[in-house]
Amino acid sequence: QSVLTQPPSASGTPGQRVTISCSGSSSNIESNTVHWYQQVPGSAPKLLIYTNNQRPSGVPDRFSGSKSGTSASLAISGLQSEDEGDYYCSTWDDSLHGVLFGGGTKLTVL
Amino acid sequence: QVQLVESGGGVVQPGRPLRLSCAVSGVSFSGYGMHWVRQAPGKGLEWVAVISYDGTNKNYADSVKGRFTISRDTSKNTLYLQMNSLRHEDTAIYYCAKTLIWLGQSRDAFDIRGQGTMVTVSS
């Protein structure tokens, strides 16, 4: 069981907006920045959002992140079939002195 | 173009050691913290260890503390993970990752760029 809690699955139809939540605590999300990774089937994870809401070069602006208190969210607008895959939130934990990953959310485009 | 190439994986018996390497190119290696992250078959991502850009600070996941050692060789632009007393549950793809910020902190975001190296612990 991960310290960072994500819903195991999410889905949407092409063009829809989908959000994925990530819930933590005062020692991790509340005190540190949150990052999101995307892993499409058969590929290595890729950094999607860093420092709560920043997109690396090449990531479409359909992807956005936010953080409030002990929770964070990833939003994907204009859903496309190539967005199918697993999404992980991540942050530092001040008590564990290490990085945490959420359990991952499997996104299905219907 | 930044490249991270992991190597050293393979099949190893429980209790035996193995050393992974991550060759870094296209960036000034000495200025970035480095992580190891792993993914067991069919499972999610698990953070393993981080080393600061200057090698002075190291942190480990509880699951590997006391068994694994992260290190770096700036002269070779290479990151290492020495894995001792391997267990079945260490079976996973191991990825190395580079922090985003030059001379930053271990808690900064990191980017996984390699394809990983597979470690299978089996008798």
Please name the residue ranges forming H helices in chain B. Answer: none
CA-nearest residue of chain A to B51?
A: A98
What was the pLDDT predicted at B111? 94
pLDDT tens per residue across span A45-102: 999 999 999 999 999 999 999 999 999 999 999 999 999 999 999 999 999 999 999 9
Q: Locate B109 and state its tokens.
A: 């975001």
Q: Please answer whether residues A64 and A46 qualify as being in contact, where contact means their C-beta atoms are separated by less than 8 angstroms.
A: no
Q: Does B3 touch chain A (CB under 8 A)?
A: no
What was the pLDDT predicted at A47? 97
CA-nearest residue of chain A to B45?
A: A101
Q: CA-CA distance, B17 to B35, in Å (whole number)?
A: 20
pLDDT tens per residue across span B16-73: 999 999 999 999 999 999 999 999 999 999 999 999 999 999 999 999 999 999 999 9
With the CA atoms of B91, B68, A41 and A48 taken in that order, what torsion angle do they form, in degrees rounded to the nearest 10?
170
Partners of residue B114 in chain A, C-beta under 8 Å: 44
pLDDT tens per residue across span B64-73: 999 999 999 9
CB contact burial B64-76 (16+ within 10 A = b; e otherwise): beeebbbebeeee
Average pLDDT, chain A: 96
pLDDT tens per residue across span B76-92: 999 999 999 999 999 99
Which positions ≥6 away from B74 have C-beta within 8 Å?
B29, B30, B55
CA-nearest residue of chain B to A86?
A: B44
pLDDT tens per residue across span A3-14: 899 999 999 999
Question: Smallest CA–CA separation between B44 and chain A, in Å?
Answer: 6
In which band, very low, low, confident or very high, does the pLDDT at B114 lie, cut at 50, 70 and 90?
A: confident
Q: CA-CA distance, B12 to B119, in Å (whole number)?
A: 8
Q: CA-CA distance, B99 to A80, in Å (whole number)?
A: 29
Nearest CA-CA partner of A86 in A4, A8, A2, A5 = A8
